[in-house]
């Protein structure tokens, strides 16, 4: 169980919560939900996201179901430390797009008594661990792995299949570019694609 409220005192304990899963699994929606609950508990919250993610808004985190919350876009993980000001809770979205320093930043924040809630993709479009997420999950007190619904069979999805032929590791996109798939459908589709090459 994830504790969602900690009294604001000098001896408060910080921690890291990672929300992860495939695209369309509700990561940002869950991040926004937790941060709204923190605000309901009169905790001061600040939210950060990588400046490169401007798909829906340049200064908000926005879920696929259009829930949103104001955020501060940053160019690097170290910038977060310089912008934090007397807060109880820090939210960070799209963690996979941050540099590897985000792990150290989250640990510094948690060690100083701040609750850090961070969301991001655990795997890239090739099904490989993505960016700093493996290290974040290893150092976090709480990890929540969400699943989307496979668009082919309806089973739980853990893969973000890229439908376009772009081989760049980072390609911002939505349903036109990506499709959530379960293990079986993903592997079947990969075999079909590889057979046609």
Three-point CA angle 102, 180, 61, nearest 5°: 45
The question of whether 86 is a catalytic residue gets the answer: no
Q: Which helix (H) or strand (E) holds 141?
A: none
H or E segment at 51? none
At 59, give phi and psi (nearest 5°).
-130, 25
Contact 159, 181 (CB under 8 A): yes
Which is catalytic among the residues 17, 29, 94, 179? Answer: 94
Alpha-carbon dihedral sign for residues 72, 77, 78, 80: positive
Catalytic site positions: 94
């Amino acid at each position: 169980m994830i504790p969602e409220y900690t009294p604001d005192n000098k001896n408060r304990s910080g921690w890291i919560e990672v929300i992860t899963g495939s695209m369309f699994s509700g990561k940002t929606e869950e991040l926004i939900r937790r941060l709204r609950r923190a605000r309901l508990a009169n905790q001061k919250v600040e939210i950060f996201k990588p400046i490169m993610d401007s798909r829906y808004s340049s200064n908000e985190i926005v879920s696929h179901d259009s829930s949103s919350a104001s955020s501060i876009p940053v160019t690097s993980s170290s910038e977060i430390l310089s912008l934090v000001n007397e807060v109880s809770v820090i939210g960070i979205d799209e963690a996979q797009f941050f540099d590897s320093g985000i792990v150290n930043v989250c640990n510094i924040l948690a060690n100083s008594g701040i609750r850090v809630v961070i969301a991001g993709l655990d795997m890239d479009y090739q099904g490989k661990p993505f960016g700093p997420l493996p290290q974040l999950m290893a150092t976090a007190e709480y990890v929540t792995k969400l699943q989307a619904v496979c668009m082919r069979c309806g089973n739980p999805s853990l893969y973000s299949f890229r439908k376009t032929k772009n081989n760049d590791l980072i390609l911002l996109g939505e349903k036109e570019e990506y499709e959530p798939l379960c293990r079986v459908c993903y592997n079947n589709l990969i075999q079909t694609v590889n057979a046609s090459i």
